[in-house]
Amino acid sequence: MERIETEADIARALDALEEADPRLTLVRARAGTVDLRLSEPGFASLASIVIGQQVSRASAQAMLNRLVALVQPLTAERLLASDLSLLIQAGLSRAKQRTLLGLASAIEEDGLDLQALVERPSDAAIATLVDLPGIGPWTAEVFLLTAGHADVFPSRDVALQAAVGQGLALSSRPDARMLAGMAEAWRPWRSVAARLFWAFYREQRGREVIPVTEPA
């Protein structure tokens, strides 16, 4: 299984993507720096992605910063030992509170090992994650992408849909199903294709949209 671990891996994957799909040459030229964007695969990084569900990057960053300040360190064990009011103070919705507490319980009580999980093939890892309450495909895919998996593509990400539509000069923004089909052409480097289009979006729209995975 290919992994993305260094800037050299990003460059190698981008070269391969251009060769497979020449349309990406112009996208790459307009995207600026395509960042590595890796996070240690553990409770804190998955929690940060949960926090980023269906909110702006700025809102997610603010909530994550508050939670990290209130629950130190941000581990499954520490969260379970903390008062529920701290999650409320951090600004988390009830749904996100339930998801984080369920995830913490799965780790501490059921033996879920996120470090071991990310070493598994992506399909198997995603299947395990989406069985957890409140963890959907987007969350699972972004977690694996930022843990170094080379071939996952969160096609439900609205910014990616917009970036692909603009970058490839499509007549309309592709929906999740259409984008997933398009991304098949970018195997086995779909994670780097996602990074490329997030970078393109940043340069064209003037704001960062890659999901938050660590406190500012």
61 occurs within a structural domain: yes
In a domain, 62, yes or no: yes
Task: Give me the DSSP letters along 110-158.
Answer: T---HHHHTTS-HHHHHHHHHTSTT--HHHHHHHHHHTTBSS---TT-H
Same domain? For 78 and 19 the reply is no
In a domain, 211, yes or no: no
In this prediction, the residues of the chain whose per-residue pLDDT falls under 50 are none
CA-closest candidate to residue 200, choices 20, 15, 27, 11: 27
- Determine, yes or no, domain membership for 83: yes
- Same domain? 62 vs 128: yes
pLDDT digits (tens, 9 = 90+) for 75-99: 999 999 999 999 999 999 999 999 9
Q: Which of 110, 135, 160 lies at the terminal end of a domain, its last residue?
A: 135
Same domain, 99 and 176: no
Going 25 to 30 to 33 to 35, the CA torsion angle's sign is negative
Q: Which residues pair with 149 in a beta bridge?
A: 3
Matching residue, tokens 């369920």: 102
CATH code, domain with 106: 1.10.340.30
Residue 146, domain member (yes or no): no
Contact status, residue 99 vs residue 135, Cβ threshold 8 Å: yes
Which two structure tokens, joined as six digits, stand for 25? 């040459």
The domain in which residue 86 lies consists of 43-135
pLDDT score at 209: 83
Q: What is the pLDDT of residues 194-216, one digit of tens each?
A: 999 999 999 999 988 888 887 87
Choose the final residue of a domain: 135, 166, 187.
135
Q: Are residues 123 and 47 in the same domain?
A: yes
User: Are 197 and 173 in a shared domain?
Assistant: yes
**Residue 2 CB partners (closer than 8 Å, separation 6+):** 150, 151, 188, 189
Same domain, 158 and 131: no
Same domain flag for 49 and 113: yes
What is the C-alpha separation between 92 and 156, in angstroms, rounded? 22
CB of 17 within 8 A of CB of 26? no
In a domain, 145, yes or no: no
Per the CB < 8 A criterion, the answer to whether 86 and 71 are in contact is: yes
Question: Would you state the pLDDT for residue 153?
Answer: 98
Domain presence at residue 192 = yes
pTM: 0.95
| Rounded-to-integer distance, Cα 64 and Cα 66, Å | 5
